[in-house]
Amino acid sequence: MKMKKYISLAIICLSLFSTSCGNGFLEENPQNFEAPENTYVSTAGFQTATNGLYSYVRWEYSTWDGPNLGSTAYEALQAGLDICVRGKKDDQNLVVIEQYTINPAHVFTKARWQWAYIAIANANQIINKAEDAGVKWDNASDKESFQAQARFLRAYVYRYLVYLYGDVPWVEKSEDQYRVDFERTPKAEIITHMIDDLKFAATYLSDNPDNVKQGELTSWAAKHLLSEIYLLAGDYQNAKQMASEVINSNKYSLMKDRFGTKKSSPGDAFADMFLENNHNRSSGNMESIWVIQAEYNKQGGSGDIDWTRRAWVPRYENVDGFVNSVEYGGRGLGQICPLDWLLESYATDDMRNSNYNIRRTWYYNKPGDARFGEEFKFDPVNNDAHKTYYDNGYFFYSTTKFDYGVEGNENGLNGVFKDKTRMRLAETYLLLAEACLGLNDKQGAANAINEVRSRANATPVAASQVDMDYLLDERARELLGEEVRRFTLVRTGKLLERTRALNPVSKNYIKDYNVLWPIPQEVIDANSGLKWNNNPGYDE
């Protein structure tokens, strides 16, 4: 059953077709089914367009819908790095990521680029059209509010472009004529534009998360992202300031007590944050800063487009004696498996290491099977049988954050039909720690990290132990599956070093130039009025 849409079909078409997908992904001449002159005339029209932009941005991990980012769009930003390896070996989608053979013609390179620039085109329309003199605003603050949301989302999407491709065109207006002469803007200049967008958003978005709709942006989300982008710019003082403002806002707090839909059932406070219906403030979750709305059969849900679940949930149904079940996270495909170093890095009493957060045990669950209820056993280190299960994605220790299933439909619903936290306060603390390291304040970094470790009942870290590698380890323990790991490693300059040190497969393939992806060849060919060279290492 498809989710009900919060936006009209006309605006979905606007989001999908504002930019041509055939001749050039940078075309800014909208190909609308609902003309801008009929939409951008009132508060209601801008609200509809903004809803469409939110909906489109939610397609960032799209598999088959929207811009079709490829069947492993999410996994492509996690695999081949320091935290996980490819699990389902008979699925070839991630080979180009794991073995670093991605090229300018690959679906990942061109679809991610297309997704970004279609979103940018629609954000630009909202930003630019709000300046028209004839718009009938319901409230004096409407203009800046809609521009702030669009500018945040434009910066959020450019985040993908600069991390993945480096220098890319900065586009901030809708073009009247088809262009084939876009210039690649230096990464540093784009980061400056992103900071300007986010400062605007921080100024004009609401600072009261209780006064906005679930999933709607606030000034604190803008400041959280500002902290990250300041880190990317090497501006550690401002990164520290932004993270500190979010932490000291008294709007958010780390969840240390049980809450939500299953607080009376076995579990813990960390696991509670990722249960269905527990992501938003309405559930009592005061840690979430920005949450993508994707609940099953709910108005405003994102549809069957984000297959995060298939990444981390093993495909245990392929093992004799097992069937898909809600208990084990629904139907998984075991695309990526956490590396042993990460799983072994948790202290025994670390809440994030509990059975509620890392699944390590399975019991035969097929009705009528003679072994029903017995524990499935394998040696996670020495047994050859374990390697068979691990390499095929059948069984491996992994996070439960993305578990989801519906009783009676355990074999379907490939998407993760529950909300998804994009920003939460624990990461804000870790961004603060990163800023402190940049300022050579190891004690400040340790203090920030220990706020996160304290919630997890983990032993505090001493300042003398804290360096960038320790922080990256801690981010992996806390944010496994949530952060875009590739972006974190690019920002900290650790992608090559840690992949070569910790990934037993990709260390044999990764090359220095693989820090960036190639520019899509279709884009280079379409921009015929100004010849581009591809990123180093990818020129034909």
Q: Quick one: pLDDT at residue 416?
A: 65
Could you name the CATH architecture of 7-82+90-204+510-540?
A: Alpha Horseshoe (1.25)
pLDDT in tens, 23-76: 343 433 333 445 667 789 999 999 999 999 998 998 888 776 666 667 788 999
Tokens in use for 30? 């909208």
88/75 Cα distance (integer angstroms): 12
Q: What is the DSSP letter of 460?
A: P
Tokens in use for 137? 């605003």
DSSP per-residue letters across 26-84: T--S---SS-HHHHTTBHHHHHHHHHHHHHHHGGGGBSSSTT---TTTTGGGTTTSSSE
Q: Quick one: pLDDT at residue 414?
A: 55
Q: Quick one: pLDDT at residue 351?
A: 98
Q: What is the DSSP letter of 399?
A: E
DSSP per-residue letters across 415-459: S--S-EEEEEHHHHHHHHHHHHHHTT-HHHHHHHHHHHHHHTTPP
Tokens in use for 234? 């090497």
SS (H, E, C) 190-211: HHHHHHHHHHHHHHHCCCCHHH
479/96 Cα distance (integer angstroms): 25
Q: Provide the whole-model pTM.
A: 0.92
Q: Quick one: pLDDT at residue 382?
A: 54
Q: From residue 292, give the alpha-carbon distance in Å to each of 176, 216, 321, 329, 495.
A: 33, 9, 36, 20, 27
Q: Quick one: pLDDT at residue 294?
A: 81
Q: Which residue matches tokens 């472009």?
A: 161
Show the low-confidence residues of the chain (pLDDT under 50).
1-33
pLDDT in tens, 185-238: 999 999 999 999 999 999 999 999 999 999 999 999 999 999 999 999 999 999
Sequence ranges of the domains in the chain = 7-82+90-204+510-540, 308-414
SS3 content of the chain, % helix, strand, coil (to 5): 45, 5, 50
